[in-house]
């Protein structure tokens, strides 16, 4: 039996009408906002029963390897199958992306991926129609139209909330949001400053996204404008977190079975792995002031 054609479609390829013979092939699509992974099966090689079996295998594998396994959903119509990260197609609060190496969903590499900003002027329903048209599966839209229209409503609600918060920030600022970068030798340097009406703005508006980044070197303080009192954020705790993570990397637990077995070999064995080598393989950090003396309080 001939292997399926596997195609990855990124953002730059979207909204172009599909051109090619595979529009009439049996299809399985793994859909995310930032890309699509597709399998095309030649109907001369596969029966309807075959594609049903293949789609279930792919779906099972995606669920097994993905995070948020319980929300992953399968739709199908006329020999074409669509796998989504959520029954509502996307989860606006925490979008996922496709890991093509493992055929699954995972957290995005880009921490700033934002449902509203990513779509720009397009509505979710327009965007999803464009995605399905690009991959040669526009007929699948009828299966998810209601979910797409609910995403349109969600987009409108979020935009209205953004507008409300921004207007309050301008007309009645009560807090100052200071964003810091922890420089070498653990020196915090203020890189940005904003005024906001309430703490909600700092945690909701996309322009304040840096404080939510996974980068541990980014931290923040929220201060009362009148008193200067810190109402949220702690730079000392942020620095301690950086130091502790670095200490963990330099004092790693041995969790890899192959590494454990290599350490048990005689030291003249070419596959022997010493503790120093193991630590070196896990340590890509630059030395900073106080690292040699640091011991965490466990």
Share of the chain above pLDDT 90, in %: 59
Q: What is the pLDDT of residue 125?
A: 96
Q: Give CA–CA dist 157/9, Å, rounded.
A: 29
Q: Rounded to two decimals, what is the model's pTM?
A: 0.75
Q: What is the pLDDT of residue 212?
A: 63
Q: Give CA–CA dist 14/12, Å, rounded.
A: 6
SS3 64: helix
Residue 51 near residue 41, CB atoms below 8 Å: yes
5 contact partners, CB below 8 Å, separation of at least 6: 22, 25, 39, 40
Q: What is the pLDDT of residue 164?
A: 96
Residue 259 near residue 271, CB atoms below 8 Å: no
Q: Give CA–CA dist 72/61, Å, rounded.
A: 11
Question: Where does the pLDDT of residue 48 fall: very low under 50, low under 70, confident under 90, or very high at 90 and above?
Answer: very high
Q: What is the pLDDT of residue 290?
A: 87
Digit-coded pLDDT (tens) for 144-200: 999 999 999 999 999 999 999 999 999 999 999 999 999 999 999 999 999 999 988
DSSP 8-state secondary structure symbol assigned to residue 89: B
Each as own residue / partner, the long-range contacts of residues 112-116 (CB below 8 Å, 24 or more positions apart, any chain) are 112/206, 112/209, 112/213, 113/33, 113/34, 114/206, 114/209, 115/33, 115/90, 115/154, 115/155, 115/158, 116/92, 116/155, 116/158, 116/159, 116/162, 116/206
């Amino acid at each position: 039996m001939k292997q399926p054609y596997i195609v990855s479609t990124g953002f730059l390829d979207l909204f172009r009408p599909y051109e090619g013979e595979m529009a009439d092939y049996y299809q399985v699509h793994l859909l995310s906002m930032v890309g699509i992974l597709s399998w095309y099966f030649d109907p001369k090689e596969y029966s309807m029963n075959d594609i049903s079996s293949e789609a279930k295998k792919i779906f099972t594998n995606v669920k097994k390897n993905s995070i948020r396994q319980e929300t992953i959903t399968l739709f199908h119509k006329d020999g074409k199958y669509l796998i989504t990260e959520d029954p509502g197609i996307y989860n606006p609060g925490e979008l996922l992306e496709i890991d093509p190496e493992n055929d699954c969903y995972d957290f995005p590499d880009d921490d700033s991926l934002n449902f509203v900003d990513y779509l720009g002027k397009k509505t979710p329903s327009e965007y999803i129609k464009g995605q399905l048209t690009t991959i040669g599966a526009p007929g699948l839209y009828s299966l998810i139209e209601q979910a797409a229209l609910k995403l349109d409503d969600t987009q409108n609600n979020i935009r209205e909330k953004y507008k409300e918060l921004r207007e309050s920030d301008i007309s009645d600022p009560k807090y100052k949001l200071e964003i810091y970068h922890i420089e070498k030798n653990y020196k915090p340097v203020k890189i940005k400053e904003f005024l906001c009406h309430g703490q909600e703005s700092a945690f909701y508006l996309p322009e304040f996204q840096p404080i939510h980044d996974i980068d541990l070197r980014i931290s923040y303080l929220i201060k009362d404008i009148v008193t200067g009192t810190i109402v949220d954020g702690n730079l000392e705790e942020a620095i301690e977190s950086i130091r502790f993570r670095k200490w963990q990397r330099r004092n790693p637990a041995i969790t890899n079975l192959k590494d454990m077995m290599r350490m048990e070999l005689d030291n003249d064995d070419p596959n022997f792995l010493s503790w120093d080598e193991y630590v070196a393989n896990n340590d890509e950090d630059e030395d900073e002031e106080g690292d040699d003396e640091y011991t965490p309080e466990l």
